[in-house]
Structure 1
Amino acid sequence: MNHAETIIPGRARPFEKSQVATPPWLKAILGRELAPTRDEYNAVNSALWDGDKAMDALVAWMFEADTKERRAQVQWAFQNGDQGLENSPAAIQAFINTLQNPPGWIDFELVEEGVSFIHGLGITAGYVLRDLALMGGYMLSGFNQSLVMTGALNKGTAQRIAETGKWWIDCTEHQGMRPFGPGYKTTLQVRMVHALVRRGLDKHKDWDHSHWGLPLSQIDMVATYLGFSVVMLVGLRKLGIPVLPRESKAVIHLWSYACWLMGVEEKWLVQSETEGFVLLNHTYMTQSKPDATSRELAQALAREPLERSFDRFQSAQRKLSYHQHLGMSQYFLGRKKMAELGFEDLGLPWYPLASNGPRALAYTAEHFIPGLRDRQQQRGRKAQLAMLASMFGEQEHAIIKPDTDHPAHI
């Protein structure tokens, strides 16, 4: 379908409503107004029509003939890299060649610093990403439509969350983002699934282009990657976790590179937390207010801990985890926003109120006392892997395998 890029989809807020005054203290930190200029507003909304040109072209080639066989050839190339690439079809070679020249600013030593910092966070990172970034993201209904129409998070929610966790774990392995490391390969696999979903929903009779723009557009991907970086850093500070400037830069760098690999255009990749905070706010201008999809997805996410697998006292641990995560979401989002997501008054968020202080003190001590940081990172990573294992249970730790009613199924 051809789209007129000059048309602003109905999901976007009018420019006038984006012009909210920036508090003086925040303007001093950012060095500018938070609100977008007219040019920035137009650029963000124009990108609601943009997909992932390189991967979309590769998927189009897959569907020209022998789709299953061609998909298998693509997946082989993603797993094996340059090995035997000269014998691959020209379309696959052309795509792999787009990966050969990453942005010149990529610094793999800084990426590794970001990985080490994330390891040291332990399950605190999981609380922020799940209970703030993901739950809060559902309030922005602009990209909820893709999730609902794929059934990705309102059907089999536990499996979908675990698959996302697997991708995150792979991306945050040491050397994982090196060419054809575990995070590198998993990211390419997810990128292909995104393109398949984009193709499927773009042709779907129920997809309203005039209102939603292109499924899984550049801006939807931008907002998602900023959740893994900027939103995580903001959430950590709200939990009392100190973040040094170098650590902030490393986290931003890690996810900017990961999302370049995911197909986000370089012009949308930021180099600092302040740049990311501004861009995140600009992506909000493309989002509708909470609606029925927001509540559907939020309620499904809230129930996810009730399906986890634990070695002992499973019923009790499931219920405890359920209340812990709900309490965290209320602490991050507040009662008003939780009500918009369909949650009744939950009372005081007892878990974060009781645990934030001790958690922050323990983290700070281990992080800054000489000789303890390595142990903190090792123990933190072990806790992250244990949380992922509880999500998968006895199932294989794998990423998305679309079933027959999924737009990405072949």
Structure 2
Amino acid sequence: MTTAIAALRAKVASQRTDNPVMFGAVDFSIWPERLLKDQPELSDLRGPFAKDASRLLARSDLIERMEAYTMLGDTVADPYAALMPQYGFRPLVDMLTLACDKGLDAVPDAPAELVRFIRSMEATPAWVNMDLIERGASIQRNAMANFAPWAIRGGFIATFMNKYAALPMALTGTLSHKTAGRRIKETAVFFATSTLPGALQRFGPGFKAAAMVRLMHSMVRFNVLARARWDQRVYGIPIPQVDQMPAGLISDYFLSAKALKEGRKTFNPDERAQVELSRYRCFLLGLPQDLLGDNPQDVVDIWNARMVTIRSGFDEATCGALLKATMETELVDTSTPAGAIRERFEKSFSKLYFLQNFCDGKEERARDFGVRIDAADKLRAGLVGVHVIGRIRAFEAAAKVPGLRRLADRRLVGKVRNYLGTLGHAEFTSDAEKYRPAPGAVPAT
């Protein structure tokens, strides 16, 4: 069920009165530069779906929702983050951690904002089928264990292709190699954790990780809005709901595009399980159901509606610097010969992953984004691809043999846990200074 557009617009406008500490200075009647209307040639919609621009723009209901969600933050996590001037940064993190680990009753004098935040995550929608979600997680463990460690960098740099969406990251210190590495690892930790058995149950580690990610985003949103560099006439609001879709729904988008290419209007059972995992994971991250398509065409249309309504824009100062920092950061210990070799191969594979999935396979377009690919990169990426595909297919084959299925899954669970071990412990609050109230961040009047 979709939200009535009038109610959605009212919800957007209410952010100013309901959360004046964060949004009191924001004029939600302003149409930001980033938000396009009927100008697909200026948008980020490219590749094989560019031909759908006219059809998408004719769907006024869908486009109006994209416009509204471009101006909507997280209406339950934002008020909690806005308590920073009152409580301070660390107490907010500690209270949320305790509420996730032991429940709200364990938090003495829990603020009403924290109660509302946690209760909203506990309000499981009727469409959620945990058995199906667990099945989706078991399927995705194969890719998470064998593919993700090689491709995470390539997927991450794709989030920096548009300056309107990337600026909040630049303003919170991700331009340095160290912080870029932390952000990649935090992202990987959340998605890897969510594929473990039972991770998304109420007291599972995935539930807690989702809450921490939301708090991190809200703290960024709070701090960025207090900075003079943020121009809402150009950028709208930081990290709106539509900008959280790419990370949360990318696997659904690829599955859906594949289904449509094959002439299918529905998902097969394995695809359905994976999509339901993503949809519930996104619910926990705060994405509204309006953005969570449940069939291939809706998933692709919602994704592309965002692309056709965001103005294309890549600049070296923001996007280029973020991309450079992400490509140069070290994700493994390179002090050993084995680590240094692995890093080199991983970077090459990430470049090719980025090329094929976000640049339509066009090297000149990748170069425009600052990703240069040479013959050595192609050779290294090819070798990694053979290795990765071989392992994935071996586990797929094992999953079809009754006597091997459980053994293979236990092995995959172990590999995912080992991967998490290489990523280290993620607090989802790297660079705490960046999330504390900036100078001048006081309740708006």
The reply to whether TM is greater than 0.5 is yes
Rate the CA distance shift 1:375–1:34 in 2: closer, same or farther, 3 A: farther
- Correspondent of 1:337 among 355, 365, 387: 365
Describe how 1:221-240 pairs up with structure 2 within 5 A.
221-231=244-254
Report the residue type matching 2:206 in the other structure. G
Which residue does 2:122 correspond to in 1? 100
Which residue does 1:350 correspond to in 2? 379
* 1:312-368 deviation line (CA, Å, top 9, x unaligned): 633333333333333333344331221012133423722444454675465345424
The share of aligned pairs that are identical, in percent, is: 19
Which residue does 1:291 correspond to in 2? 315
- Correspondent of 1:201 among 204, 224, 228: 224
Q: What's the offset of the Cα at 1:202?
A: 1.1
Report the residue type matching 2:313 in the other structure. K
Q: State whether structure 2 residue 181 is matched by structure 1 residue 158.
A: yes
CA–CA distance in structure 2, aligned partners of residues 74 and 45 of structure 1: 31
Aligned residues: 396
Give 5+ residue unaligned stretches, structure 1. none
CA–CA distance in structure 1, aligned partners of residues 75 and 340 of structure 2: 47
Which residue does 1:317 correspond to in 2? 342
Rate the CA distance shift 1:14–1:72 in 2: closer, same or farther, 3 A: same
Which residue does 2:429 correspond to in 1? 401
- Structure 2 contact 193–206 (Cα < 8 Å) conserved: yes
Describe how 1:127-138 pairs up with structure 2 within 5 A.
127-131=150-154, 133-138=155-160
CA–CA distance in structure 2, aligned partners of residues 375 and 305 of structure 1: 33
Which residue does 1:181 correspond to in 2? 204
Report the residue type matching 1:314 in the other structure. G
Q: What's the offset of the Cα at 1:265?
A: 1.9
Larger mean Cα displacement after TM superposition, 90-99 or 252-261? 90-99
Q: What's the offset of the Cα at 1:162?
A: 1.5
- Structure 1 contact 115–172 (Cα < 8 Å) conserved: yes
- Structure 1 contact 86–93 (Cα < 8 Å) conserved: no
Describe how 1:5-404 pairs up with structure 2 within 5 A.
5-17=28-40, 33=55, 37-65=59-87, 68-69=90-91, 71-84=93-106, 88-121=110-143, 122-131=145-154, 133-152=155-174, 154-156=176-178, 157-231=180-254, 245-284=268-307, 285-292=309-316, 293-305=318-330, 307-308=332-333, 313-332=338-357, 333=359, 334=361, 335-347=363-375, 349-354=378-383, 356=385, 359-360=388-389, 363-364=392-393, 366-368=395-397, 369-371=400-402, 372-392=404-424, 397-404=425-432
Q: What's the offset of the Cα at 1:225?
A: 1.3
CA–CA distance in structure 2, aligned partners of residues 91 and 307 of structure 1: 38
CA–CA distance in structure 1, aligned partners of residues 188 and 437 of structure 2: 21
Report the residue type matching 1:138 in the other structure. F
Alignment partner of 2:198: what SS?
coil
Alignment partner of 1:15: what SS?
coil
Alignment partner of 2:342: what SS?
helix
Q: What's the offset of the Cα at 1:267?
A: 2.0
CA–CA distance in structure 1, aligned partners of residues 285 and 293 of structure 2: 15
- Structure 1 contact 402–409 (Cα < 8 Å) conserved: no
Give 5+ residue unaligned stretches, structure 2. 1-23, 439-445
- Structure 1 contact 49–217 (Cα < 8 Å) conserved: yes
CA–CA distance in structure 1, aligned partners of residues 336 and 387 of structure 2: 26
- Structure 1 contact 176–184 (Cα < 8 Å) conserved: yes
- Structure 1 contact 50–214 (Cα < 8 Å) conserved: yes
Rate the CA distance shift 1:390–1:310 in 2: closer, same or farther, 3 A: farther
Rate the CA distance shift 1:375–1:244 in 2: closer, same or farther, 3 A: farther
Larger mean Cα displacement after TM superposition, 285-294 or 67-76? 67-76
Larger mean Cα displacement after TM superposition, 105-114 or 375-384? 375-384
Rate the CA distance shift 1:139–1:65 in 2: closer, same or farther, 3 A: closer
Larger mean Cα displacement after TM superposition, 221-230 or 245-254? 221-230
Alignment partner of 2:355: what SS?
helix
Report the residue type matching 1:168 in the other structure. F
Q: What's the offset of the Cα at 1:310?
A: 7.8
CA–CA distance in structure 2, aligned partners of residues 128 and 62 of structure 1: 36
CA–CA distance in structure 2, aligned partners of residues 135 and 182 of structure 1: 26
CA–CA distance in structure 1, aligned partners of residues 370 and 94 of structure 2: 42
CA–CA distance in structure 1, aligned partners of residues 174 and 346 of structure 2: 22
Report the residue type matching 2:289 in the other structure. E
Q: What's the offset of the Cα at 1:74?
A: 3.5
CA–CA distance in structure 1, aligned partners of residues 61 and 239 of structure 2: 22
Report the residue type matching 2:69 in the other structure. A
